[in-house]
Structure 1
Amino acid sequence: MPQMRPLDPAFPIDRQIAIDTGPLVLVNVFTLDRDDEQIFLRVWQDDAAFMKQQPGFISTQLHRAVGESPTYLNYAVWESSAAFRAAFTHPEFRAKIGAYPSSAVASPHLFQTVAVPGICVA
């Protein structure tokens, strides 16, 4: 099971998923030992396949850090925090995360779009 290290220790994922909002983006940064990368990728693929079947899931993309760093970023879009919460707390998903290598550290955080005049829309 990966260790959980919040991006913002004052407001971890367990508090974030309690807020009803949407749409939202999950950003999850994973660090791990280089020797565990293939295991990590297989487990993440299995998790992503499960999430893809859940109501409210829109999309996901996994990114790997440039160079030698075994750091990954998962970006997933959800219709609502309620949909993400249902998937994230689902017993089948909770069982799946136990397959991650012990070196994995996950830092999940939820985000919403922000409108900036002349630059981007919310």
Structure 2
Amino acid sequence: MAEVRSLDPSTPLFAQVEEETGPIVLANTFVVPEERTEAFLVLFRRQAEFMEAQPGFVSLQIHKGTAGSRLMMNVAVWESTRALAAALGNPEFQRMAAEFPDGVVSYPHIFERADV
């Protein structure tokens, strides 16, 4: 099972999910041991297929770090935190999340658009 850590300890994911806002971007950076990369990607593909079928899902991309990096980053767009929370709380998703290989560390964080 993956270990979940807060990218910003002052605002853990669960606090962010409680704030009703949208649209949002979930950026989740994973540290994946090299020998577990393929198992991680197999499971991630299953999770992506599940998420794509959930109400409020907009899009998803996974990116891999360069130059031998062990980092993978998921960037998912959702209509709202409410939709994301429902998907994350689904028992089927919870079962899949528990299957992540040991040694994987996840740093999820929710963002909303900022005008620049």
Q: 1:44 is paired with a residue of what secondary structure?
A: helix
Query: C-alpha distance in 1, partners of 2:95/2:14?
Result: 17
Residue identity in the other structure for 1:42: V
Query: C-alpha distance in 1, partners of 2:32/2:48?
Result: 18
Query: C-alpha distance in 2, partners of 1:47/1:12?
Result: 22
Q: Which residue of 2 aligns with 1:119?
A: none
Shift of 1:91: 1.0
User: Displaced runs of 4+ in structure 1, greater than 3 A?
Assistant: none
Q: 1:48 is paired with a residue of what secondary structure?
A: helix
Query: C-alpha distance in 2, partners of 1:53/1:86?
Result: 12
* 1:19-71 Cα shifts (integer Å, max 9, x gaps): 00000000000002100000000010011110000000000000000011111
Q: Tell me the TM-score normalized by structure 2.
A: 0.98
**Where does the alignment leave 5 or more consecutive residues of structure 1 unmatched?**
117-122
Q: Which residue of 2 aligns with 1:25?
A: 25
Query: C-alpha distance in 2, partners of 1:75/1:32?
Result: 16
Residue identity in the other structure for 1:48: A
Shift of 1:99: 1.1
Residue identity in the other structure for 1:83: A
Q: 1:26 is paired with a residue of what secondary structure?
A: strand
Larger radius of gyration between Structure 1 and Structure 2: 1
Cα root mean square deviation, aligned = 0.6
Same amino acid, percent of matched pairs = 39
Q: 2:114 is paired with a residue of what secondary structure?
A: coil
Q: Which residue of 2 aligns with 1:46?
A: 46
Q: 1:75 is paired with a residue of what secondary structure?
A: strand
The total of aligned residue pairs comes to 116
Q: 2:39 is paired with a residue of what secondary structure?
A: helix
Q: Tell me the TM-score normalized by structure 1.
A: 0.93
